[in-house]
């Protein structure tokens, strides 16, 4: 069967949101009068979401479950959804209903106008801590500045992508994925539409600070060498200071001044440089570790159960 729209929702312990998600997505999609499928990717849930997904799939043939062998993380869950999707347009949506399914018709309209990526920009966000808002805002701006790809500000993964874009994304098998960056990188005709991001319907965020930090690191290392260049900059900066300091100290000594004498000065200089060197080593390590992960070439995710037909 030819499918027009694929909706992908990654699910990690979202049992209290699933029925509502299914209900709202079905309502919107049925009103659009095109064929559609809802791919629910269970990312190693342990709260009974898995059983619920199977049940939904039994009741409604639009629902296609992809069930992971363990938790692989949000970005990989969405990746699996993309791999299994069959639609001419693919929509990625969070399962906690922070992204309103009711926005899909507007996205589809833009797609029909010829845009190949329609991303949703969070004009307002409800029910989130100031810490999350602040770190998120900082993160988007930092990424925008230092990466070579112009990744739209304040846009999450909630977006519609044309089949052409999805096929390119599916051919990019990098492990440490930052999907919104990848979908900006591919090019094509892109446009943003604004929406109000609602509060989570039920449950807790599945993105603690640790995961947010990982995602930010993946975004930065996948799309820029900036951290490595910072190390180079610090190298030149320290060497520059040293070169300037030598004649100054010679002059001070010759004129009998006691300034910059003693251990404290030496200690500070050594600790400072030692610190900078260790940080640079750590940064280098981040890149090398990622290189190592790519070299191992393990599968991106492991599925326990998946629909027979995939998009490819
Ligand atoms: N999620 C997932 N695997 C994870 C963490 C999150 O599949 O390891 C899913 C989660 O179920 C939700 C989406 O990713 O559908 C976004 O997560 P969340 O709402 O917790 O993030 P936030 O909106 O707080 O940034
Ligand atoms: Mg959420």
pLDDT digits (tens, 9 = 90+) for 208-233: 888 888 888 898 899 888 999 988 89
In a domain, 180, yes or no: yes
DSSP state of 178: -
**156 Cα: distance to centroid of ligand 1 (angstroms):** 11
Query: 179 or 268: whose pLDDT is higher?
Result: 179
Residue 256 lies in a domain: yes
Tell me how far apart the terminal alpha carbons of the chain are, to the nearest angstrom: 14
Q: Distance of CA 294 to CAs 175, 176, 267, 289, 298, Å?
A: 7, 9, 40, 9, 8
In Å, what is the CA distance from 91 to each residue of 6, 78, 190? 6, 10, 14
Answer whether residue 96 is part of any domain. yes
Q: Which helix (H) or strand (E) holds 50?
A: helix 49-59
Q: Does residue 305 sit within a domain? A: no
Q: Is 73 in the pocket of ligand 1 (CB under 6 A)?
A: yes
Residue 307 domain-assigned (yes or no):
no
Confidence at residue 196, expressed as pLDDT on a 0 to 100 scale:
86
Q: Which ligand is nearest to the CA of 12?
A: 1
Whether 129 and 201 share a structural domain = yes
Claim to verify: residue 119 and residue 257 sit in the same structural domain: no
46 C-beta closer than 6 A to ligand 1: no
Predicted local distance difference test score (pLDDT) of residue 19: 94
Ligand number nearest CA of 128 is 1
Query: pLDDT tens-digit profile of 118-170?
Result: 999 988 777 778 888 888 888 888 888 888 888 888 888 999 999 999 999 99
Are 168 and 246 in the same domain? no
Token readout for 170 is 């599916």
**Helix, coil or strand: residue 203:** coil
**Quick check: is 81 in a domain?**
yes
Q: What is the pLDDT of residues 35-67, one digit of tens each?
A: 999 999 999 999 999 999 999 999 999 999 999
pLDDT, position 198: 84
My answer on whether 61 and 105 are in the same domain is: yes
Cα 291 from Cα 294, distance rounded (Å): 5
Q: Which residues span the domain enclosing 267?
A: 226-296
In this predicted structure, the answer to whether residue 311 has a pLDDT above a threshold of 70 is: no
Nearest ligand to the CA atom of 15 = 1
Distance from residue 195's CA to the centre of ligand 1 (Å): 19
The span from the CA of 122 to the CA of 154, in Å, is 6
Examine the fold and report which residue of 183, 198, 224 is the final residue of a domain before the chain moves on: 224
Q: What is the pTM of this model?
A: 0.85
Q: Which of 168, 198, 224 is the last residue of a domain?
A: 224
**Ligand 1 site, residue 183, Cβ cutoff 6 A:** no
Atom of ligand 1 nearest to the CA of 212: 25
The alpha carbon of 198 and the centre of ligand 2 are apart by a number of angstroms equal to 9
Domain end residue (candidates: 189, 206, 224): 224
Among 16-30, 184-198, 248-262, the range of highest mean pLDDT: 16-30
Q: Which atom of ligand 1 is nearest to the CA of 13?
A: 11
Residue 172 shares a structural domain with residue 40? yes
Cα–Cα–Cα angle for 256, 257, 259, rounded to 5 degrees: 150
On whether both 210 and 247 belong to a single domain, the answer is no
- From 96, 99, 204, give the residue whose CB has the most ligand 1 atoms within 8 Å, as the site to mutate: 96
Locate the ligand 1 atom nearest the alpha carbon of residue 14 and give its number.
11
Q: Of the ranges 15-29, 77-91, 205-219, 280-294, which one carries the lowest mean pLDDT score?
A: 205-219
Ligand 1 contact, 135 CB (< 6 A): no
Q: How many residues does the chain have?
A: 312
Please state, in angstroms and rounded to a whole number, the distance separating the CA atoms of residues 114 and 89: 12
- The upper half-sphere exposure of residue 253, i.e. CA atoms within 13 Å in the direction of its Cβ, equals 9
Q: What is the spatial distance between Cα 288 and Cα 297, in angstroms, rounded to a whole number?
A: 14
CATH number at residue 158: 3.90.550.10
d(CA 144, CA 155): 12
Co-location of 193 and 133 in the same domain: yes
**Ligand 1 pocket, mutate which of 49, 94, 101 (most atoms under 8 A from CB):** 94
CA-closest residue to ligand 1 atom 19: 205
Residue ID of nearest Cα to ligand 1 atom 25: 207
Contact (Cβ atoms closer than 8 angstroms) between residue 184 and residue 172: no
Residues 49 and 185 in one domain: yes
Ligand 1 touching residue 11 (CB < 6 A): yes
**CB distance 197 to ligand 1 below 6 Å:** no
Q: Cβ(53)–Cβ(17) under 8 Å?
A: no
Q: Is residue 304 part of a domain?
A: no
pLDDT of residue 310: 59
Q: Quick one: 119 and 198 in the same domain?
A: yes
Same domain, 190 and 247: no
Residue 111 lies in a domain: yes
* Residue 91, strand partner residues: 7, 160
264 and 116, same structural domain?
Answer: no
Q: Which ligand is nearest to the CA of 135?
A: 1
- Output the CA 206–ligand 1 centroid distance in Å: 5
Domain co-membership, 122 together with 267:
no
| Total domains, the chain | 2
């Amino acid at each position: 069967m030819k499918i027009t729209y694929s909706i992908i929702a990654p699910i990690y312990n979202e049992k209290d949101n699933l029925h509502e998600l299914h209900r709202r997505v079905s309502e919107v999609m049925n009103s659009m009068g095109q064929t559609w499928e809802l791919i629910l990717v269970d990312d190693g849930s342990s709260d009974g979401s898995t059983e619920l997904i199977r049940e939904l799939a039994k009741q409604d043939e639009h629902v296609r479950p992809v069930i992971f062998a363990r938790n692989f993380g949000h970005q990989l869950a969405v990746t699996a959804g993309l791999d299994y999707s069959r639609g001419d347009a693919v929509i990625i949506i969070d399962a906690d209903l922070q992204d309103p399914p009711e926005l899909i018709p507007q996205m589809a309209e833009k797609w029909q106008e010829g845009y190949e990526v329609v991303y949703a920009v969070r004009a307002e966000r409800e029910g989130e801590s100031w810490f999350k808002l602040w770190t998120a805002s900082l993160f988007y701006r930092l990424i925008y500045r230092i990466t070579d790809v112009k990744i739209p500000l304040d846009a999450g993964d909630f977006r519609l992508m044309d089949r052409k874009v999805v096929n390119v994304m599916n051919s990019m098998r990098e492990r440490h994925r930052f999907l919104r960056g990848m979908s900006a990188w591919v090019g094509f005709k892109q446009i943003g539409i604004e929406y109000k991001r609602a509060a989570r319907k039920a449950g807790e965020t599945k993105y603690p600070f640790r995961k947010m930090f990982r995602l930010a690191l993946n975004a930065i290392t996948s799309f820029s060498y900036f951290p490595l260049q910072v190390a180079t900059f610090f190298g030149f900066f320290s060497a520059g200071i040293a070169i300037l300091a030598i004649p100054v100290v010679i002059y001070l000594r010759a004129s009998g001044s006691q300034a910059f004498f003693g251990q404290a000065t030496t200690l500070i200089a050594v600790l400072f440089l030692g610190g900078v060197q260790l940080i640079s080593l750590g940064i280098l390590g981040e890149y090398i570790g990622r290189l190592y992960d790519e070299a191992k070439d393990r599968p991106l995710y492991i599925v326990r159960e998946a629909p027979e037909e995939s998009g490819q």
